[in-house]
Amino acid sequence: MHWTILLKSDPEAKGNPVLHGLRMAASAVADGVEVSVFLAQEACPLAFLDEQTGAKQLVHQDLIHELQELGAKVYVVGLEWLHQSEKALLNSSIEAASMKTLVRQMKISDQVITL
């Protein structure tokens, strides 16, 4: 079984959709589900190392690292962030992906979740 989780909400959004998506992904991986997580739109900043990262984003990044340790793939789609911020560096454990990669993953997935 394979899930694709597309996180596109602001990590600071009310209701914590990104946090819930990452927690759901970790639970699914721990339960034997193959998971691919895509960070897009407002969630893209989580793919970058930043000295100004707040406490909430550190929790998100810790969950991303936990997911990767469990075997999940984490991608970022929308590299306009790379051009907008010279100081931001793409986290080396997160892969840059195209929309083609996202669509291919969605096609092979049993479940697609967007938050």
Percent of the chain with pLDDT over 90: 58
The torsion region of residue 22 among left (phi > 0), alpha (psi -120 to 50) and beta comes to: alpha
Q: Would you place residue 80 in the very low, low, confident or very high pLDDT band (cuts 50, 70, 90)?
A: low
Q: Considering the chain, what is the average pLDDT of its residues? A: 86
Q: What pLDDT score does 96 carry?
A: 86
Pick the CATH number of 2-114 from 3.40.1260.10, 3.30.70.360, 3.40.50.2020, 3.90.600.10: 3.40.1260.10
pLDDT tens-digit profile of 86-112? 445 777 788 888 889 999 999 999 999
Beta strand 89-90 pairing with 48-49? antiparallel
